[in-house]
Amino acid sequence: MSTEVPVSLKNVQIYQGKSLVLDNVNLEVAKGEFVYLIGKTGTGKSSLLKTLYGDLQLKEGNAEVAGFKLKDLSWKTVPLLRRNLGIVFQDFQLLTDRNVNDNLEFVLKATGWTDKALMKEKIESVLDKVGLRAKGYKMTYEMSGGEQQRVDIARALLNNPKLILADEPTGNLDPETTDKIMQLLFTICRDYQTAVVMATHDYGIIQRYPARVIRIEQGGVHELTIPSNNNTSE
Ligand SMILES: Nc1ncnc2c1ncn2[C@@H]1O[C@H](COP(=O)(O)OP(=O)(O)OP(=O)(O)O)[C@@H](O)[C@H]1O
């Protein structure tokens, strides 16, 4: 299994039930690349991301994600695929009945970790990366939206993914917090060569943090040419 190309889609069709949402999708994402998915509401950004993390089954076309071929991927293999990805959601999807450390430990255990000391070390390391080292004992409901999104990103980093999939990760955040989260995602992308595919409605973000842009329209996906700039994560 090759893990070199985080995403490779060739002539992919994406269905929701029986309806065809996206046709003839071709997309390659390179190691360490940051890619935005933009498009009007309902065009299929989330459906594309869901296909990439195995939530929607791929019926037509060839797709490889983090070394896994998606066509006819069995449901049993989906957790294995997810272990190789980081997934970040708009609404964080943290467990509200436990603290940050326990949220992260829950994921580690679910993905096969058993050694307590190694888990503690890993949790400290990902919290450090997102600037929350001292907040491990906080209950998630006691945290601000921006802090919760950092925990969500820390969770996504637990298994050293080569690819992070983020669905409107700043959708619930104010502009200042949005900037901090974008800087964090760009830093992770640069420092760990983690590819990031992020769906957003917010063109202002793309202007402030330029990267490759893929526009999703009814029927397909198109590369958008944006004047190239260095990203502004510094
Ligand atoms: N669970 C589902 N069952 C059936 N149809 C669905 C389901 N989820 C989405 N769809 C349909 O698939 C199409 C694409 O939806 P999707 O959520 O992927 O779009 P989107 O571009 O992410 O939209 P938004 O920007 O509003 O999140 C829409 O027509 C939507 O109604």
ipTM of model: 0.93
Ligand 1 centre distance from Cα of residue 120 (Å): 38
Domain that holds residue 134: 7-224
Residue 211 lies in a domain: yes
Helix (H, G, I), strand (E, B) or coil at 124: helix
Q: What's the predicted TM-score (pTM) here?
A: 0.90
Ligand 1 centre distance from Cα of residue 145 (Å): 25
Residue 116 lies in a domain: yes
Residue 233 lies in a domain: no
Residue 213 lies in a domain: yes
Instruction: Kindly list the distances between the CA atom of residue 156 and the CA atoms of 7, 17, 74, 217, in Å, as whole numbers in the listed order.
Output: 17, 28, 23, 28
What is the pLDDT at residue 112?
84
| pLDDT beneath 70, residues of the chain | 1-3, 219, 225-234
What is the pLDDT at residue 92?
77
Residue 140 lies in a domain: yes
What is the pLDDT at residue 148?
93
Fill in the amino acid letter for 135: K
Residue 232 lies in a domain: no
How many domains does the chain fold into? 1
What is the pLDDT at residue 226?
60
User: What CATH number is associated with residue 157?
Assistant: 3.40.50.300
* Ligand 1, residues at Cβ distance < 6 Å: 16-17, 21, 39, 41-47
What is the pLDDT at residue 199?
96
Residue 231 lies in a domain: no
Residue 17 lies in a domain: yes
Helix (H, G, I), strand (E, B) or coil at 82: helix
d(CA 117, CA 119): 5
For CA atoms 61, 224, 202, 227, the dihedral sign is positive
- In the block, which residue shows the tokens 């700039």? 229
- Ligand 1 atom closest to the Cα of residue 216 is 21
Structure tokens at 211: 């990267």
